[in-house]
Amino acid sequence: MTVRFRALAATLLVAAAVTACSGERTGFGGAAAPAAEQVPTTATTPAAVAATATNPLMADVSLPRAGCALPQWSRFEEGVREWFATALECLDRSWEPVLRKLKLPWATPKFEISVEVTSSDCDVPHENSFHCAGSIHIVPKSYLSTRTGPDGQPAVAFAMLAHEYAHHVQWLSGTSTAAQRERKDAGRDTPAGLEVSRRLELQAQCLSGMYLAATVDPTTLALAAEDNRNRGDYAGRDRDHGTPENSGAWFVRGAERNLLSACNTWMAAPDAVA
């Protein structure tokens, strides 16, 4: 493929300055580059809380049950754009009231889809879709590569977008800022530093499971869960996302419990975040 999709609807609504992106990216695979993040806050808007286990994002709050009327799945650029733009609107509608309830900042993410893993703003990642400082970058091969086959692609794409959106929520809340600090303090690629990365990724798995279960039909949810059980840290990869078993388990936990507090990977036993 040579076509490169340009940015979709991409307006960051927060008036506060969001400076040139230098944030740590968090995605489905690959290592992240160390950098500081900037969460949008102003004196008059709710502030992010730089904490992990004690972040307001760990409250006993559920996502509202709501459908999402998505366009027909398409393999063509225009259809793909429309599909993701609609899915993103659905995610916004579900997450905005939650963040406002928690008195955390909210802003719709910037969004870009590209056949190349690249970014003009953020550190260029190795592979796969990722979130970086308020921007979601989707790389089609990351959902086209699913083992669930062509019929599973819409479900997998939706789960992938929900995972990256979960990173956006973590970023807005201050969770990922705190996690980066913890990882840096522990030593970025030390066992303790990698465990911090896994707790962040697996929390995103759980939050995406919450969202999918609150939004899609059981068949779609089952396809997404199957795909998630096949992602994560395989042998030979960095141990920064969690085993495929744990990736699937946290997704399912979020789907079954629909409680932010059930996604508190920061308090989970080491085996659960291996």
Contact set with Zn ion (CB under 5 A): 26-27, 201, 204
User: Cβ closer to Zn ion: 26 or 228?
Assistant: 26
Q: Which residues contact 192 (CB under 8 A, 6 or more apart)?
A: 186
At its nearest, how many Å lie between Zn ion and the CB of residue 56? 21
At its nearest, how many Å lie between Zn ion and the CB of residue 84? 17
List the one residue out of 249, 230, 232 whose CA is nearest residue 241: 232
- Looking at the DSSP bridge assignments, the partners of residue 223 are none
As a whole number of angstroms, the distance between CA 271 and CA 171 comes to: 25
DSSP β-ladder status, 135-138 and 110-113: parallel
Q: Between the CA of residue 101 and those of 31, 48, 105, 145, 247, what are the distances in Å?
A: 33, 13, 10, 37, 28
User: Cβ closer to Zn ion: 182 or 201?
Assistant: 201
At its nearest, how many Å lie between Zn ion and the CB of residue 181? 18
At its nearest, how many Å lie between Zn ion and the CB of residue 57? 15
Task: Give the H or E element holding residue 150.
Answer: none
Six-digit token pair at 123? 């550190």
User: Cβ closer to Zn ion: 65 or 177?
Assistant: 177
User: Cβ closer to Zn ion: 150 or 242?
Assistant: 242
As a whole number of angstroms, the distance between CA 274 and CA 272 comes to: 6
DSSP assignment of 84-142: HHHHHHHHHHHHHHHHHHTT----PPEEEE-SS---SSSPPPSSS-EEETTEEEE-THH
At its nearest, how many Å lie between Zn ion and the CB of residue 72? 27
At its nearest, how many Å lie between Zn ion and the CB of residue 220? 20
Q: Which residues contact 267 (CB under 8 A, 6 or more apart)?
A: 53
User: Cβ closer to Zn ion: 26 or 108?
Assistant: 26
User: Cβ closer to Zn ion: 75 or 141?
Assistant: 141
